[in-house]
Amino acid sequence: MRFVVVLLLAMVFGQASVAQEQDIRSTISAQIEAFQADDFVGAFDYASPNIQNIFRTPDNFGAMVRRGYPMVWRPAEVRYLELREIAGQLWQKVLITDAQGAVHVLDYQMVQQENGWKINGVQLVPQPGASA
């Protein structure tokens, strides 16, 4: 009987984790789609309140992404890697191939808000063998 309870708990928590991962990936995908359409207002909606306070306007946010993260603005391919919890924060690793064929790995910090998952920051993951 104990085994059945443990198995049921594992299934419930496993499904919650899968649903959480799908919701997080959907948020990131929706923001990338908004960037591809030059819909910076829509893309800004997927940013956390903290990020929105930093950039203040969708235009400022869009300019930062175009300059600092062109691979996110115009990706050729997006693949989701692992979702991890680090120091109580959820981080989604994403592999993005840009229009020139270069591969970039980015880490998206995600926060859950009343209205769903929001992106609280993105950082480029240094690649082995890359020089600074």
CATH classification of the domain holding 59: 3.10.450.50
130 within some domain: no
Q: HEC string of 89-131?
A: EEEEEEEEEECCCCEEEEEEEEEEECCEEEEEEEEECCCCCCC
pLDDT value, residue 93: 98
115 belongs to a structural domain:
yes
Q: What is the CA radius of gyration of the chain?
A: 17
Contact of 72 with 92, CB cutoff 8 Å = no
Which DSSP state fits 13?
A: H
User: Is position 132 within any domain?
Assistant: no
The values of phi and psi at residue 90, to 5°, are: -95, 130
Task: Report, as an integer, the average pLDDT of 112-122.
Answer: 96
In a domain, 67, yes or no: yes
The answer as to whether 54 is a domain residue is: yes
Q: Is residue 129 part of a domain?
A: no
Mean pLDDT, rounded, of the chain? 89
Which pTM was predicted? 0.82
In a domain, 77, yes or no: yes
Q: What is the pLDDT of residues 68-116, one digit of tens each?
A: 999 999 999 999 999 999 999 999 999 999 999 999 999 999 999 999 9
**Based on the structure, what is the number of domains in the chain?**
1
Say if residue 64's pLDDT is above 90: yes
Does residue 15 surpass a pLDDT of 60?
A: no
Q: Would you place residue 5 in the very low, low, confident or very high pLDDT band (cuts 50, 70, 90)? A: very low
Using CA atoms, how far apart are residues 29 and 38, in angstroms rounded to an integer? 14
- Domain range for residue 57? 2-124
Q: Which residues pair with 30 in a beta bridge?
A: none
Q: Tokens representing 77?
A: 């391919």
